[in-house]
Amino acid sequence: MKQRAPLLCCLIILGSFLVTSCATTIVTAVWKDESFTGPVRKMAVIGIFKTPAIRNSFEDEFARQLRARGVDAVPGYTVVPVDDQSDKDLVASRLKNLGTDYVLVTRLVDKRTVQTYVPGQAYVVPGYYRSWGGYYQYAYTPGYMVQDIYAFAETNIYDVKNDKLIWSARSETEISGVNQELIQSFVKIMIDRLSADAVIR
């Protein structure tokens, strides 16, 4: 039993690390136009990000998961070059030419860093370290600071023909891990919410 104590301590610390390194997205607010009957059948996806590679990966993943739900989805970068994103009339014209009825736009609205102190933990040291009585049988792992970064995003869906907002969601994502894993996790949560709100099937 005594030999298992250090191993148990290591497993607890490792488990804590894995939990804190997992990315999570929470939908904090949702609005839907009650007059919208749906579901959306054809839609373009536009991610407004500074890095083109992240934008492309985001739009590809969103389009892929939408297609899996029966939506004819098109990544925005294949239709509208990044330099033309700010030209609303040009974007709308190209989407209409494609016969796209709706466009989904995700943009980052805020970013926040939170620092948290994690106190040290006591654990039982191996028997061969013990001496001078029982008060040497415990040792402590040092405390440390954890820095968590949170991204706050807004995802909107517009009716292209009528220039009308039909669905909007705000979300909070803890940034950790690699970009592709974060994107896949974020998109899945948004897709599940769109399905729950009957925007898509």
Nearest to 140 by CA among 124, 121, 166, 154: 121
**Which conformational region is residue 177 in: left (phi greater than 0), alpha (psi within -120 to 50 degrees), or beta?**
left
Q: Domain extents for the chain?
A: 23-114+148-196
pLDDT for res 2: 46
List, as one string, the DSSP characters of 111-148. Answer: EEEEEEEE---EEEPPGGG--SSGGGSEEEPPPEEEEE
Tell me, what's the pLDDT at 106?
96
- The Cα 48–Cα 58 span in angstroms is 10
The whole-angstrom separation of Cα 54 and Cα 184 is: 12
User: Could you list the mean pLDDT of each consecutive 10-residue stretch along the chain, which spans 201 residues?
Assistant: 42 37 80 93 92 92 97 92 74 85 93 80 59 55 80 95 93 83 94 96 90
* CATH number of the domain located at residue range(s) 23-114+148-196 in this protein: 3.30.160
156, 121 Cβ separation under 8 angstroms: no
Per-residue model confidence (pLDDT) at position 82: 72
Residue 179 has what pLDDT?
80
Please tell me the pTM assigned to this model.
Answer: 0.74
State whether residue 185 is helix, strand or coil: helix
- Do 5 and 143 touch, CB atoms closer than 8 A? no
DSSP E strands in 3-141: the ranges are 25-32, 42-48, 72-75, 102-118, 122-124, 138-140
